[in-house]
């Protein structure tokens, strides 16, 4: 039988033992989001001897499209993870032998699998250990010992996240990709929602871990009489506006009872004519009373965001020395490459974060730009924030470089340059700077380890001249609907963009009916479009599946039920990276990096390229690659990170940045490692799911340990 204590007593008991606790029972290691392990068995001297301890295959990957982004948990000898198709599983943490599997997808149903970045474990003492995880817009509560749903939670073990949002969103996309956090007997969760309109609001909710009853809700888009309401010029925004969601997880100051939420931008990401104003609490670090959901403070990192500068990861709770005093602070990384250092209790900047005047010229018609933006003076940014001739890629032939120079001149450029019809350089890009992997923090050295992307993207806007209307043919309506709802990801010619696939030959793989199911259910990073309705789905199908008979039929129902607020006037032509003719990033390397920032001095003490392109590596050039997933720092002196496009797993010396160990993974490890000890042995586990950045998919979790 297992040895279990109420969660509150656990730290006391463990601190009496001589060894530090060795479980990894919280997403990212600890509730302060430090990605820190106190284990020392694997260290800078012996890391080169690491061997594969076990491999677990989930056997449900699709060749090129599935992913595993999950950071698995380990608690008292059991390892919990999630498969590419979101099956929850439990393994023996020492051998990788399976104990049970829970499949959230009811057989034969159309099920949105979204992505799942991790789990939340609640320990109620005795035999009451519950795992929470989300799939298909539902939050599941599973008995961690048996793998069976906890029938007393919600509706037979799960709740529908579309419900209890204080707004009618049954027909809108609501998913949950990052795990919630436990405070006492509450699970606090956020959501992923549509980034175009109409979108569900990203309200934060807390549920009773036993019953699934909603205990509080925080309106991240404030209602009349709630503070922040006045920051939306349109007085109807609170009824229609969506986004402003905590999609990337939470941190908790357990002693103070404060939960910190990093918030995303308001929907639609790239045009704000219907949401003029600062748009609180978009792009805020938000501190809430964890037991009541009442706002304590907020700090907005981008005003009136038009670049999708979501806060991509939970803030790290740190303690800093300043002027001889200890300050409990938090470090919030961003897509822009800034670290925001804020006082945990007041939200005040620890060092000045001046409001810098930015140009208000050049907004799209009907929109207006914020005259200032906050720019932290300390620490220094960890990625480049400006593209110019000197920072364009010189590794390509000169004619290619000259082509970049020419193209760059045609774009708008600069950190807060507005979206434009001619194209605007977005650097750091839509995926950072930082992404959902988040950083790691080592309090002994005061170093914050941040992996980042350094990729320039081109954001090009187009007017949506035509609204789909009755009296059109399906084909005409389908094209208009495509522009409104799909082009932003799949590109104007359906050729795909960024991480989004081409739709040129989908007629080979889809029938009208399976196509409709895809739109209703969504799949991983493809949101669902439940708001479209059958006739709009058919119009889209006629266009995309090139079904000649369907194309000539008359389109029946126009999108006439949309509020004026939700009618999009402009859209983007895809998520397009700024690349050379050869397909390399237009910016000079590094394209991916790992930095160690000293939070006491504000300096980047070391910065390595992270990842390689074999063709450049052969010439001795380390370029780094785009990367997804985070690092873990250990008391053994190491920073473990996978995350790169070259499918390697690496360990760096945390003090010097020296690469000490690297090994090949069966597929890219776009996830954060888990580090735990069981029966005296330290393990490091990474999910190898691939599938992003045009890499093949994988189905394994790999554990490493000393022989
Ligand atoms: C937010 C970005 C986004 C938007 C908006 C979007 N998609 Fe997608 N779409 C994706 C992603 C990502 C995938 C790949 C999903 C996966 O992992 O399998 C995808 C996949 C698809 C596929 C399957 C492709 C294949 O080869 O199997 C079809 C069909 C599709 N989308 C159609 C649409 C249509 C129609 C719309 C508009 C109504 C739309 N998408 C809007 C991101 C998007």
The pLDDT value given to residue 170? 86
The pLDDT value given to residue 561? 67
Residue nearest to atom 27 of ligand 1 (CA): 506
- Domain of 255, CATH number, reads 2.40.128.630
- Around ligand 1, the residues with Cβ closer than 6 Å are 65, 485-486, 488-490, 500-501, 503, 506, 509-510, 515, 518-519, 523-527, 529, 540, 544
Tell me how far apart the alpha carbons of residues 150 and 113 are, in angstroms, rounded to a whole number: 21
For residue 513, tell me if it sits in a domain: yes
Q: Determine how many CB atoms are found less than 10 A away from the CB of residue 101.
A: 14
Ligand 1 site-directed mutation target among 243, 500, 502, 506, most atoms within 8 Å of CB: 500
Residue nearest to atom 34 of ligand 1 (CA): 486
360-393 burial: b if 16+ Cβ within 10 Å, else e = eeebbeebebbeebbbbebbebbbbeebeeebbb
Ligand 1 site-directed mutation target among 526, 536, 540, 628, most atoms within 8 Å of CB: 526
Ligand 1 centre and the CA of 571: distance in Å?
16
Ligand 1 centre and the CA of 524: distance in Å?
9
The pLDDT value given to residue 36? 98
* Residues 6+ away with beta carbon under 8 Å from 524: 65, 66, 67, 113, 114, 115
Counting from 1 in the atom list of ligand 1, the atom nearest the Cα of 524 is 17
C-alpha 647, offset from chain centre: 20
Counting from 1 in the atom list of ligand 1, the atom nearest the Cα of 195 is 1
Maximum alpha-carbon separation in the chain: 77
Provide the token pair at 580.
Answer: 């050379």
User: What pTM, to 2 d.p., does this model score?
Assistant: 0.91
Last residue of a domain, one of 559, 580, 615: 559
Ligand 1 centre and the CA of 528: distance in Å?
9
Q: Which residue reads 């790290």 in tokens?
A: 316
For residue 505, tell me if it sits in a domain: yes
For residue 242, tell me if it sits in a domain: yes
Ligand 1 centre and the CA of 537: distance in Å?
13
Ligand 1 site-directed mutation target among 60, 68, 490, most atoms within 8 Å of CB: 490
Residues of the chain with pLDDT under 50: 1-18
Q: Which residue reads 């979790």 in tokens?
A: 701
Ligand 1 site-directed mutation target among 173, 492, 501, 574, most atoms within 8 Å of CB: 501
For residue 296, tell me if it sits in a domain: yes
Q: Determine how many CB atoms are found less than 10 A away from the CB of residue 562.
A: 16
| Domain tally, the chain | 2
The pLDDT value given to residue 12? 43
Q: ω into residue 433 within 30 of 0, thus cis?
A: yes
- Domain of 519, CATH number, reads 1.10.760.10
> Could you give the C-alpha distances from 702 to 94, 384, 612, 650, 668, in angstroms and in order?
12, 34, 21, 13, 12
The pLDDT value given to residue 471? 77
Contact 569, 273 (CB under 8 A): yes
Ligand 1 centre and the CA of 399: distance in Å?
35
For residue 653, tell me if it sits in a domain: no
For residue 85, tell me if it sits in a domain: no
Ligand 1 centre and the CA of 178: distance in Å?
21
For residue 282, tell me if it sits in a domain: yes
The pLDDT value given to residue 112? 62
Last residue of a domain, one of 257, 277, 312: 312
Ligand 1 centre and the CA of 538: distance in Å?
16
Residue nearest to atom 37 of ligand 1 (CA): 486
In the Cβ-directed half-sphere of 503, how many Cα atoms lie within 13 Å? 21
Domain with 230, as residue range(s), is 118-312
Tell me how far apart the alpha carbons of residues 271 and 452 are, in angstroms, rounded to a whole number: 26
For residue 657, tell me if it sits in a domain: no
Residue nearest to atom 8 of ligand 1 (CA): 526
Counting from 1 in the atom list of ligand 1, the atom nearest the Cα of 515 is 29
Residue nearest to atom 19 of ligand 1 (CA): 526
Last residue of a domain, one of 264, 285, 312: 312
């Amino acid at each position: 039988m297992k040895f279990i204590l109420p969660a509150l007593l656990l730290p006391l008991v463990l601190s009496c033992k001589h060894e530090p606790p060795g479980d990894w029972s919280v997403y990212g290691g600890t509730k302060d989001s430090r990605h820190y392990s106190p284990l020392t068995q694997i260290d800078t001297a012996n890391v080169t001897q690491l061997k594969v301890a076990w491999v677990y295959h989930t056997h449900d990957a699709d060749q090129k499209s599935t992913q595993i982004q999950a950071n698995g948990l380990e608690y008292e000898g059991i390892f919990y993870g999630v498969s590419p198709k979101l099956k929850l599983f439990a393994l023996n943490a020492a051998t990788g032998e399976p104990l049970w599997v829970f499949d959230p997808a009811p057989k034969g149903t159309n099920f949105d699998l979204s992505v799942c970045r991790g789990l939340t474990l609640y320990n109620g003492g005795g035999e009451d250990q519950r795992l929470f995880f989300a799939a298909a817009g539902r939050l599941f509560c599973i008995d961690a010992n048996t793998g069976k749903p906890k029938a007393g939670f919600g509706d037979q073990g799960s709740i529908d996240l579309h419900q209890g949002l204080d707004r009618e969103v049954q027909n809108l996309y609501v998913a949950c990709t990052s795990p919630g956090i436990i405070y006492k007997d509450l699970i606090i969760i956020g959501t992923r929602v549509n980034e175009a309109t109409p979108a569900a609001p990203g309200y934060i909710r807390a549920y009773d871990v036993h019953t699934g009853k909603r205990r509080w809700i925080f309106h991240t888009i404030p209602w009349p009489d709630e503070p922040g309401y006045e920051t939306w010029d349109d007085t109807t925004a609170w009824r229609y506006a969506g986004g402003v969601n905590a999609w990337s997880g939470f941190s908790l100051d357990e002693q103070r009872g404060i939960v910190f939420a990093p918030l995303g931008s308001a929907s639609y990401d790239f045009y704000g004519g219907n949401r003029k104003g600062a748009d609180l609490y978009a792009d805020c670090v938000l501190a809430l009373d964890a037991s009541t959901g009442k706002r304590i403070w907020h700090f907005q990192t981008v005003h009136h965001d038009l670049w999708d500068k979501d806060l991509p990861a939970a803030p790290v709770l740190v303690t800093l020395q300043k002027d001889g005093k200890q300050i409990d602070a938090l470090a919030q990384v961003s897509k822009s490459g800034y670290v925001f250092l804020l006082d945990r209790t007041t939200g005040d900047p620890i060092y000045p974060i001046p409001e810098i005047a930015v140009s208000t010229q050049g907004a799209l018609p009907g929109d207006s730009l914020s005259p200032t933006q906050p720019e932290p003076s300390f620490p220094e940014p960890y990625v480049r924030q400006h593209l110019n001739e000197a920072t364009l890629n010189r590794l390509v032939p000169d004619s290619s470089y000259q082509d970049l120079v020419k193209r760059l001149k045609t774009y708008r450029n600069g950190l807060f340059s507005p979206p434009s019809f001619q194209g605007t350089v977005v650097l750091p890009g839509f995926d950072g700077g930082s992404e959902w992997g988040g950083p790691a923090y080592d309090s002994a050295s005061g170093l914050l380890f941040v992996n980042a992307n350094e990729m320039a993207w081109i954001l090009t806007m187009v007017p949506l001249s035509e609204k789909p209307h009755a009296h059109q043919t399906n084909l005409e309506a389908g094209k208009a609907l495509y522009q409104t709802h799909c082009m932003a990801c799949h590109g104007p010619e359906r050729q795909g963009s960024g991480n989004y696939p081409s739709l040129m030959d989908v007629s080979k793989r889809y029938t009208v009916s399976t196509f409709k199911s895809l739109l209703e259910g969504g799949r991983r990073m493809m949101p669902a479009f439940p708001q479209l309705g059958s006739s709009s789905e058919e119009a889209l199908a006629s266009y995309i599946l090139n079904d000649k008979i369907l194309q000539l039929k008359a389109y029946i129902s126009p999108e006439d039920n949309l509020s004026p607020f939700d009618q999009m006037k402009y859209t983007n032509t895809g998520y397009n990276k700024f690349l050379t003719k050869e397909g390399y990033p237009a910016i000079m390397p590094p394209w991916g990096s790992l930095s160690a920032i000293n939070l006491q001095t504000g300096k980047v003490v070391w910065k390595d390229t992270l990842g390689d392109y074999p063709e450049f590596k052969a010439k001795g050039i380390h370029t780094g690659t785009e990367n997804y997933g985070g690092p873990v720092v250990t008391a053994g002196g190491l920073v473990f990170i996978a995350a790169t496009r070259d499918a390697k797993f690496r360990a760096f010396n945390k003090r010097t940045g020296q690469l000490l160990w690297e090994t090949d993974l069966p597929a890219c490890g776009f996830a954060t490692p888990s580090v735990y000890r069981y029966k005296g042995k330290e393990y490091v586990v990474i999910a190898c799911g691939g599938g992003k950045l045009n890499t093949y998919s994988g189905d394994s979790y790999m554990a490493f340990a000393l022989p």
